[in-house]
């Protein structure tokens, strides 16, 4: 599991610094020990300061999860940075953003920190606690106080400001110091002469009690555990006896009272209850520490070790009890022991390698294989070939030309099977600046990350997962990679058609749409090169007929007016260039015209209309078809294929919709008799722009979807 240790020590990264600053500091040694123990337990660990960057840092480390995958968990040892109820700050943020964590929630922390409210709750439920009063100001009346008494800040921990007083003068002196330093009311409670016992609790419903620890104060100094003692500044040594030497009847009462205090404050996972015993065997709960110290010399860790939990086992046990509280059993599955179910084995393989999935996308984004970059294309092809060899795919010679198309298949062959299609070129001009890979909490950015890189990684990870469970070779499967998407598949179309004709189903690994959609229907495109040329003209001279520039723009405008929503085709100009001599008006215009269409008949009619509209005796004018990409049309077979994909998606709670697209893909090369679905790749935005990005959770979701769908084509599943 991914475990983020969240703490407060050095950072003051907040919007503004104001209010009471936190004076509790966790030691670096303790953080390192926690991290080491968790790693030994098999967890992936990072330590993060609990400041204003916490949410972003957590999202980087533990992105959203798929069904059945344990989300990351926070090991919370944060004391807060400033302000009131500081223990509650990080848990409140985690509650808001939906991140599970070890330890009590905001409510229990706030009740435990407010010693007065905690004591009122104890009294309400019959839990013994010393008599007390509260001083709201330095001159508050204190006539009913019995001495000796204890003074301490109402809302602090770690024994800040605690002192034994024997008279009203000492009381007011101690209270004045607290008011001055901590700016809060003072709790005054009866001092209980006797023994002090700490009881650690671990777990939930009910919590387990650790062996009680008695504090041995010695003969010097007050018989209370001060802040100076805890930080080893008092000059005296406090020792511990564990388990405390208590008669059985008192031991039972101590442990049961500790459990009641834990329960009535609503604590989770762990806490330490401090109890005093007087000479007559009466016990009194002093307070509940809802965030017990995990320091090397703390009574909580001493008791845990006595119970058989060394430090490494203790921190791992804390993660286990928190996980059980959040997730229960048997769902989600234990990914380290997925059992014999083949679906779970496939799932386990993928989620255990989630970080590797994103790292592979990053590695691919570092490969520059733009459409017109033969050097980068060779490197990309070598990577694909290496992968094919790794998973045991065999080349399909008749569907490979070693220049723009490569096709492989499993031992079961691609005949009557599933064909996966993706491209490895990035359709960006070589002159355009490169885009570096980067990651934010929700998105992965990089050159070609959505159009090419993430889909390729999706395929690689799905096939590796299937191979890991020894099912890949049983699937009739083909993989086709082409390299001229940026040239409208001008050179690859023939072989792609041939490969598709051998398959029974085709999945095109183009990116999914932002609405988590896949695409069963795409419009086709025709790209025309429109050229107009005439005689050069001088600026300022009057001519009877329109100039080349005016005539060309009028033609282009007439093209756009042919757009028909009813017939579902559109015409637009995508590029426009002029040529002219010095100090002369343009004499030549070149423009690219794009026609988007769903029906070939309508596209042919449109072609005739445009060709007729450019006929003129005044200029040399041509409209040449440069490239054509046929539409991908809906069919009953494709609808059935979508339903099968949707069934897999619903089983794993992967969001999946279907939506038509205005842009073309190689799916249009498939005949209507072969069910074809496009947009199987991860959800992406701003494709083919410098802002291109892939949704991080979608990378995992679509990989799982592809792997589980292909598993249904593997014949009988393992039982």
Q: Clarify whether residues 565 and 658 are in a common domain.
A: no
CATH number at 558 reads: 3.30.70.360
Quick one: pLDDT band at residue 334, thresholds 50, 70, 90?
Answer: very low
Last residue of a domain, one of 629, 650, 679: 629
pLDDT for residue 265: 96
Q: Is residue 717 part of a domain?
A: no
CATH number at 430 reads: 3.40.630.10
Quick one: pLDDT band at residue 333, thresholds 50, 70, 90?
Answer: very low
Quick one: pLDDT band at residue 573, thresholds 50, 70, 90?
Answer: very high
Q: What is the pLDDT of residues 130-156, one digit of tens each?
A: 998 888 888 888 877 888 888 888 877
In whole angstroms, give the CA distance from residue 461 to residue 458.
5
Q: Clarify whether residues 353 and 496 are in a common domain.
A: yes
pLDDT for residue 85: 85
Q: Is residue 166 part of a domain?
A: no
pLDDT for residue 253: 96
Q: Is residue 446 part of a domain?
A: yes
In whole angstroms, give the CA distance from residue 224 to residue 87.
24
User: Strands 2-7 and 44-49: what pairing?
Assistant: parallel
pLDDT for residue 225: 67
Q: Clarify whether residues 373 and 509 are in a common domain.
A: yes
Residue 176 and residue 124 in contact, taking contact as beta carbons nearer than 8 Å = no
Report the chain's terminal Cα–Cα distance, integer Å. Answer: 27
Q: What is the pLDDT of residues 483-506, one digit of tens each?
A: 999 999 999 999 999 999 999 999
pLDDT for residue 533: 94
Q: Clarify whether residues 316 and 402 are in a common domain.
A: no
* pLDDT at 196 exceeding the cut of 50: yes
Task: Identify whether 332 is preceded by a cis peptide bond (ω within 30 of 0).
Answer: yes
Q: Is residue 157 part of a domain?
A: no
Q: What is the pLDDT of residues 154-172, one digit of tens each?
A: 877 655 667 888 888 888 8
Last residue of a domain, one of 265, 294, 327: 327
Q: Clarify whether residues 568 and 585 are in a common domain.
A: yes
Neighbour-count burial for 63-101, b at 16+ CB within 10 Å, e otherwise: bbbbebbbbbbbbbbbbbbbeebbbbbbbebbeeeebbb
pLDDT for residue 331: 38
Tokens of 152: 């301490």
* pLDDT at 469 exceeding the cut of 80: yes
Neighbour-count burial for 110-130, b at 16+ CB within 10 Å, e otherwise: bbbbbbeebbebbeeeebebb
pLDDT for residue 227: 58
Quick one: pLDDT band at residue 341, thresholds 50, 70, 90?
Answer: confident
* pLDDT at 340 exceeding the cut of 60: no
Q: Clarify whether residues 553 and 441 are in a common domain.
A: no
Reported as type and span, the H/E element at residue 706 is helix 696-711
Q: Clarify whether residues 44 and 79 are in a common domain.
A: yes
Q: Is residue 185 part of a domain?
A: no
Last residue of a domain, one of 327, 360, 395: 327
Among 183, 185, 215, residue whose Cα is nearest residue 198: 215
pLDDT for residue 359: 93
* pLDDT at 719 exceeding the cut of 50: no
Q: Clarify whether residues 531 and 456 are in a common domain.
A: no
In whole angstroms, give the CA distance from residue 143 to residue 186.
15
Q: What is the pLDDT of residues 612-622, one digit of tens each?
A: 999 988 899 99
Tokens of 666: 């190689």
User: Strands 477-482 and 405-409: what pairing?
Assistant: antiparallel
Average pLDDT of the chain is: 89
Q: Clarify whether residues 19 and 57 are in a common domain.
A: yes
Quick one: pLDDT band at residue 81, thresholds 50, 70, 90?
Answer: confident
In whole angstroms, give the CA distance from residue 379 to residue 383.
6
Those residues whose C-beta lies under 8 Å from the C-beta of residue 59, and which sit 6 or more positions away, are: 440, 441, 442
Q: Is residue 159 part of a domain?
A: no
CATH number at 240 reads: 3.30.470.20
In whole angstroms, give the CA distance from residue 130 to residue 139.
22
Q: What is the pLDDT of residues 175-187, one digit of tens each?
A: 888 888 877 888 8
Q: What is the pLDDT of residues 344-399, one digit of tens each?
A: 889 888 888 888 999 999 999 999 899 999 999 999 999 999 999 999 999 999 99
pLDDT for residue 46: 94
Residue 277 structural domain: 111-130+192-327
The conformation of residue 563, written as its DSSP 8-state character, comes to -
Among 509, 525, 521, 520, residue whose Cα is nearest residue 424: 509
Q: Clarify whether residues 581 and 657 are in a common domain.
A: no
Q: Is residue 178 part of a domain?
A: no
Q: Clarify whether residues 367 and 381 are in a common domain.
A: yes
CATH number at 36 reads: 3.40.50
Q: Clarify whether residues 658 and 513 are in a common domain.
A: yes
Angle, CA 523 vertex, CA 517 and CA 527 arms, to 5°: 130
What average pLDDT does range 251-263 have in this prediction? 96
Reported as type and span, the H/E element at residue 109 is helix 106-113
Q: How many domains does the chain have?
A: 4
The conformation of residue 522, written as its DSSP 8-state character, comes to B
Q: Can you give 308-339 as a three-state secondary structure string?
A: CCCHHHHHHHHHHHHHHHHHCCCCCCCCCCCC
In whole angstroms, give the CA distance from residue 223 to residue 234.
13
Q: Is residue 344 part of a domain?
A: no
């Amino acid at each position: 599991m991914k475990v983020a240790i969240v703490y407060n020590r050095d950072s003051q990264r907040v919007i503004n610094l104001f209010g009471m600053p936190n004076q509790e500091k966790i030691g670096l040694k303790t953080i390192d020990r926690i991290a080491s123990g968790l790693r030994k337990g098999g967890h992936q660990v990072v330590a993060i300061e609990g400041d204003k960057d916490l949410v972003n840092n957590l999202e980087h480390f533990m992105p959203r999860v798929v069904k059945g995958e344990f989300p990351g968990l926070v090991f919370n040892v944060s004391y807060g940075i400033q302000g009131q109820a500081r223990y509650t700050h990080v848990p409140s943020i985690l509650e808001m953003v939906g991140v599970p964590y070890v330890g009590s929630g905001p409510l229990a922390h706030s009740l435990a920190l407010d010693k007065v409210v905690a004591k009122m709750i104890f009294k309400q439920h019959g839990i013994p606690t010393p008599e007390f009063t509260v001083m709201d100001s330095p001159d508050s009346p204190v006539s009913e106080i019995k001495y000796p008494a204890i003074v301490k800040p109402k809302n602090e921990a770690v024994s800040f400001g605690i002192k034994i007083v024997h008279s009203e003068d000492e009381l007011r002196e101690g209270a004045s110091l607290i008011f001055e330093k901590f700016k809060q009311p003072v709790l005054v409670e009866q001092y209980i002469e006797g023994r002090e016992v700490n009881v650690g609790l671990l777990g939930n419903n009910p919590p387990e009690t650790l062996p009680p620890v008695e504090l041995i104060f010695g003969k010097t100094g007050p018989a209370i555990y001060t802040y100076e003692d805890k930080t080893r500044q008092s000059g005296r040594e406090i020792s511990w006896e564990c388990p405390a030497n208590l008669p059985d009847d008192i031991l039972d009462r101590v442990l049961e009272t500790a459990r009641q205090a834990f329960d009535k404050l609503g604590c989770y996972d762990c806490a330490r209850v401090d109890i005093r015993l007087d000479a007559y065997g009466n016990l009194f709960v002093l307070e509940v520490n809802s965030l017990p110290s995990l320091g090397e010399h703390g009574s909580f860790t001493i008791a845990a070790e006595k119970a058989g939990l060394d430090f490494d086992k203790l921190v791992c046990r804390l993660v286990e009890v928190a996980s059980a509280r959040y997730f229960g059993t048997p769902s989600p599955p234990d990914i380290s022991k997925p059992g014999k179910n083949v679906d779970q084995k496939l799932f386990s393989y993928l989620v255990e390698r989630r970080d590797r999935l994103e790292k592979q996308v990053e590695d691919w984004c570092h490969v520059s294989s733009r459409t017109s970059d033969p050097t980068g294309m060779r490197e990309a092809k070598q990577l694909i070939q290496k992968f094919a060899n790794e998973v045991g795919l065999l080349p399909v010679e008749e569907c490979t030309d070693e220049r723009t198309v490569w096709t492989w298949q499993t031992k079961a062959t691609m005949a009557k099977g599933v064909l996966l299609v993706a491209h490895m070129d990035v359709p960006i001009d070589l002159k355009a600046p490169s885009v570096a890979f980067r990651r934010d909490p929700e998105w992965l950015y990089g050159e070609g990350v959505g159009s090419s890189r993430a889909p390729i990684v999706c395929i690689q990870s799905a096939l590796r997962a299937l191979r890991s469970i020894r099912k890949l070779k049983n699937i009739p499967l083909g993989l086709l990679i082409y390299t001229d998407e940026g040239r409208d598949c001008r050179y690859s179309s023939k072989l792609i058609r041939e490969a598709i004709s051998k398959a029974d189903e085709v999945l095109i690994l183009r990116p999914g749409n932002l609405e988590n959609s896949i695409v069963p229907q795409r419009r086709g495109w025709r790209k025309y090169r429109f050229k107009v040329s005439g005689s050069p003209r001088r600026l300022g001279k009057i001519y009877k007929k329109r100039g080349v520039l005016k005539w060309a723009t009028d033609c282009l405008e007439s093209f756009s007016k042919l757009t028909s929503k009813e017939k579902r085709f559109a015409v637009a100009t995508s590029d426009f260039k002029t040529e002219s001599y010095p100090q002369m008006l343009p004499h030549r215009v070149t423009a690219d015209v794009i026609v988007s269409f769903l029906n070939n008949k309508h596209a042919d009619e449109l072609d005739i209309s445009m060709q007729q509209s450019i006929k003129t005796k005044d200029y040399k004018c041509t409209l040449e078809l440069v490239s054509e990409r046929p539409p991908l049309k809906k069919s009953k077979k494709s609808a059935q294929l979508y339903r099968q994909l949707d069934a897999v998606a619903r089983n794993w709670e992967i969001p999946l919709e279907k939506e038509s697209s205005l842009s073309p893909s190689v799916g249009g090369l498939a005949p209507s008799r072969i069910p074809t679905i496009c947009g199987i790749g991860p959800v992406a935005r701003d494709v083919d722009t410098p802002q291109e990005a892939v949704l991080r959770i979608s990378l995992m979701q679509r990989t799982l979807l592809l792997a589980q769908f292909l598993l249904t084509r593997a014949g009988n599943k393992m039982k």
